[in-house]
């Protein structure tokens, strides 16, 4: 059976950046963020439940979910976040497991599950190994504000809704420190994948 790697980090520490590098090594990635967008498309069961609970003020004019409005509500309020998670997460988990098993049944040597809330949602049993993408907390705040154009307050609400990146690094089987250059992160990633026996080395014969 192939090796299942749970990839995580905290918001804006570089999980998607590392996930792209993993794909460049021809290792398939199951992306929880993508699935979480698909399950809330107009008319799907999770979408209908969200409208029921949060009302039409979290919708755009075309009926799609207004992610900014919903984010402004749930990142400030733990109870509301719990309600949203309760609607979205079961659907995401089902689809993630389906995709993971499909790759394994097709004989892949490794599959990566890219899950932002791997530790918060206690999903480590879905994977054989955990890999955390780390940056120091000042860099995390700066990259988040730069990427999303958010205020320091908004960024801190999001950061504080997750387990700290230091704690996740302590819980991980391996850590990539992404505070430096992309090249440095890529080298660290290669070392970890090689150690775990899943790096597809170029065939030089
Ligand atoms: C609140 C929503 C609409 C905000 O959407 P937005 O486009 O602004 O953010 P996006 O989905 O791209 O998430 C960005 C990052 O925020 C963090 N985040 C998202 N949801 C949560 C949450 N429920 N708790 C803690 N952190 C979260 C993650 O690090 C994620 O990578 C959206 O995040 C959502 O529906 N969240 C609930 C589902 C979820 O937990 N998704 C993430 C993992 S599956
Ligand atoms: N080594 C690096 N040097 C400079 N900038 C970086 C580096 N790695 C990532 N970034 C930038 O930092 C920001 C956050 O990275 P990324 O989007 O990959 O984080 P993420 O952990 O996937 O975030 P989220 O949890 O929100 O999905 C992006 O704007 C990205 O371009």
Q: What is the mean pLDDT of the chain?
A: 96
| Nearest residue to 130 via CA among 46, 58, 44, 196 | 196
> Which pLDDT score is estimated for 197?
96
Name the DSSP letter for residue 56: G
Ligand 2 atom at shortest distance from the alpha carbon of 33: 27
Determine the pLDDT at residue 203.
65
In this structure, are residues 112 and 7 in contact, taking their beta carbons and an 8 Å threshold? yes
pLDDT of residue 97: 98
How high is the ipTM of this complex? Answer: 0.95
pLDDT band at 193 (very low <50, low <70, confident <90, very high): very high
CATH placement of domain 3-195? 3.40.50.300
Rounded distance between C-alpha atoms, residue 74 and residue 85, angstroms:
10
Q: How far is the CA of 173 from the centre of ligand 1 (A)?
A: 24
CA dihedral 142, 155, 60, 36 (to 10 degrees): 90
The sign of the torsion formed by the CA atoms of 156, 162, 166, 172 equals: negative
Quick one: pLDDT at residue 1?
85
- What is the CA(204)–ligand 2 centre distance, in A? 33
**Each residue's pLDDT tens digit, 91-146:** 999 999 999 999 999 999 999 999 999 999 999 999 999 999 999 999 999 999 99
**Consecutive H or E run containing 8:** strand 3-9
Residue 168, pLDDT above cutoff 80: yes
Q: Using a 6 Å cutoff on CB, does residue 74 contact ligand 1?
A: yes
Is residue 157 scored above 70 in pLDDT?
yes
Average pLDDT over residues 44-72: 97
Q: Is 14 annotated as a binding residue?
A: yes
Query: Which of 7, 10, 14, 181 is the best mutation target for the ligand 2 pocket, counting ligand atoms within 8 Å of the beta carbon and taking the most?
Result: 14
Sheet holding 29-31, edge to edge: 29-31, 110-114, 3-9, 129-134, 174-177
Query: For residue 25, is pLDDT > 90?
Result: yes
């Amino acid at each position: 059976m192939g090796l299942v790697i749970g990839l995580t980090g905290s918001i804006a520490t570089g999980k998607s950046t590392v996930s792209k590098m993993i794909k460049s090594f021809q290792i398939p990635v199951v992306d929880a963020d993508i699935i979480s967008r698909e399950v809330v498309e107009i008319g799907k069961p999770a979408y209908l439940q969200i409208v029921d609970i949060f009302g039409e003020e979290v919708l755009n004019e075309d009926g799609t979910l207004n992610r900014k409005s919903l984010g402004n509500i749930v990142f400030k309020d733990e109870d509301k976040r719990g309600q949203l998670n309760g609607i979205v997460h079961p659907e995401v988990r089902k689809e993630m497991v389906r995709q993971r098993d499909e790759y394994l049944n097709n004989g892949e040597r490794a599959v990566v599950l890219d899950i932002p809330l791997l530790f918060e949602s206690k999903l480590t049993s879905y994977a054989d190994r955990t890999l955390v993408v780390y940056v120091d907390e000042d860099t995390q705040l700066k990259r988040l504000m730069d990427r999303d154009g958010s205020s320091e307050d908004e960024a801190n609400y999001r950061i504080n809704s997750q387990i700290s990146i230091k704690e996740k690094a302590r819980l991980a089987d391996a850590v990539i420190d992404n505070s430096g250059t992309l090249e440095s992160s890529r080298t660290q990633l290669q070392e970890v994948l090689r150690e775990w026996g899943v790096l597809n080395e170029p065939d030089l014969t």
